[in-house]
Structure 1
Amino acid sequence: MARRTGRRPGNPDTREAILVTAREVFAERGFDGASIRAIAAGAGVDPALVHHYFGTKDQLFLTAMNAPLDPREVLPEVLTGPPDEIGQRLVRLFLRIWDSPAGTAGVALLRSAVSNEWTARLLRDFVVTQILRQVTTHLALDPAQAPLRASLVASQLVGLAITRYILRLEPLASTPAETLVTAIAPTVQRYVTGDLTDVFDR
């Protein structure tokens, strides 16, 4: 069967066709392995049309994920300031977002990821490429250690999200955000910049 080519600017379903294909390609190949050209080919449109609707690959990925926000708009808040306080800033921002209306979309996304491997792949790639990679790159962490450090941070934050916003386990579910920052930030800080020699020497 011949592959469809060319633009479909008059078709009201074109944008949705691109999104459906983008989700499939991102889930199959990951963010780094996916390309605008491959997504366009799968949707039967010209790559320029994908750019027209969604801009960059990053923007397309965020739309395909139904991401409640663009990490690039809030990460400067985490990355600006002393490196030894990044744990506090990261946990504080995380809680502020999840306690806001955007948190509702986050809960829906996390619920889906827990029960659906396809969504889990997208969410995993979103966390790694759009958030944690930016943090580890900014801090110039040892490339050999950065992936595990990032995964440890993710385990802490995702665990917090599930416990506080999905399971609603008390008293954590109603504990003031700043109290949680005080309790959790030191662990996150250790994962990001602390001495993990005992972990990496094993």
Structure 2
Amino acid sequence: MPKKQRILLAAQEQFGKHGFTGTTLKMVADHAGVASGLVSHYFGNKDNLFLEAGMALIDQMLSIFTQKADKAENGLDALRIFVESYFDFTSAHKTTFPTLLRCSPFSDENPQLDRHAIAAKFQTLIDQIETYLRKGMEDGSIKEVPLPQTSFLIYGHIVGAVRTVFLAPYQIPELFEEACTFIVRSVAKS
């Protein structure tokens, strides 16, 4: 793995574990097995590294989700695959995914960060949901729903389930599965 990628992965793991404030560039460098100066060379400062780490995760997620959902028979199936893939990704990336909980337009943990840039990146996920909703309304698998409101409501439901699993003291069996079923059932044409 190239050094820049090792640094991003180390940053995702360190920010996910220690949060923005608790993570230093030295911690990231040590975890990546590189000199501290190299982290600064590639990313400048901690704010930029944090943003890049979060945005790289979103790019990775979107690539995986859309690749899987492109095989769907209709819009509803594509939406289901997208939601399932989102939950599967969070479960498979427990050490890095919490970075997105901290680097999110729904987080007020780091008010000094460029919230417009963060929101624009997260918007790509919401736009993909809207694409599947439109496709489903066109092919008849999804009932007529208001856009973009429904896209945001679905994404809010996904975020709520993820935050419950990662941050809350609750142990709710099969929450992700039920959240996906709930989302699909709420928009499916009967």
Could you report, residue by residue, the CA deviation over 1:121-162 in whole angstroms, capped at 9, with x for unpaired residues? 544332212x221232355368x9332121101110110111
Partner of 1:5: none
**Structure 2 vs 1, CA of residues 161 and 66 (structure 1 numbering), >3 Å: closer, same or farther?**
same
Q: 1:15 aligns with which of 42, 65, 76?
A: 42
Partner of 1:37: none
Q: 1:83 aligns with which of 72, 75, 89?
A: 75
2:147 and 2:118 mapped to 1: Cα distance?
19
Could you report, residue by residue, the CA deviation over 1:78-107 in whole angstroms, capped at 9, with x for unpaired residues? 24313233343233212211111x232221
TM-score by length of 2: 0.54
Q: 1:92 aligns with which of 84, 104, 107?
A: 84
1:18 and 1:107 mapped to 2: Cα distance?
20
Amino-acid identity (%): 13
Question: Do the aligned partners of 1:152 and 1:191 also contact (CA within 8 Å) in 2?
Answer: no
- The reply to whether residue 110 of structure 1 matches residue 101 of structure 2 is yes
SS in 2 for 1:67: helix
Larger displacement relative to structure 2 (119-128 or 146-155): 119-128
**Structure 2 vs 1, CA of residues 111 and 20 (structure 1 numbering), >3 Å: closer, same or farther?**
closer
Cα-Cα RMSD = 3.7
Q: Which amino acid aligns with 2:88?
A: R
Partner of 1:128: 123
**Structure 2 vs 1, CA of residues 104 and 149 (structure 1 numbering), >3 Å: closer, same or farther?**
same
**Structure 2 vs 1, CA of residues 136 and 80 (structure 1 numbering), >3 Å: closer, same or farther?**
farther
1:111 and 1:122 mapped to 2: Cα distance?
14
1:79 and 1:193 mapped to 2: Cα distance?
19
Which is higher, the Rg of structure 1 or of structure 2? 1
Could you report, residue by residue, the CA deviation over 1:30-51 in whole angstroms, capped at 9, with x for unpaired residues? xxxxxxxxxxxxxxxxxxxxxx
Question: Do the aligned partners of 1:65 and 1:122 also contact (CA within 8 Å) in 2?
Answer: no
Task: Tell me the matched-pair count.
Answer: 139
Larger displacement relative to structure 2 (106-115 or 186-195): 186-195
Q: Which amino acid aligns with 2:164?
A: T
Unaligned 5+ runs, structure 1: 1-10, 24-60, 196-202
**Structure 2 vs 1, CA of residues 74 and 86 (structure 1 numbering), >3 Å: closer, same or farther?**
closer
SS in 2 for 1:146: coil
Deviation at 1:167, TM superposition (A): 1.5
2:188 and 2:70 mapped to 1: Cα distance?
13
1:193 and 1:127 mapped to 2: Cα distance?
25
SS in 1 for 2:57: coil
Question: Do the aligned partners of 1:87 and 1:185 also contact (CA within 8 Å) in 2?
Answer: no
**Structure 2 vs 1, CA of residues 92 and 168 (structure 1 numbering), >3 Å: closer, same or farther?**
farther
1:79 and 1:168 mapped to 2: Cα distance?
36
Q: Which amino acid aligns with 1:150?
A: S
Unaligned 5+ runs, structure 2: 1-36, 138-144
Q: Which amino acid aligns with 2:86?
A: F
Question: Do the aligned partners of 1:112 and 1:120 also contact (CA within 8 Å) in 2?
Answer: no
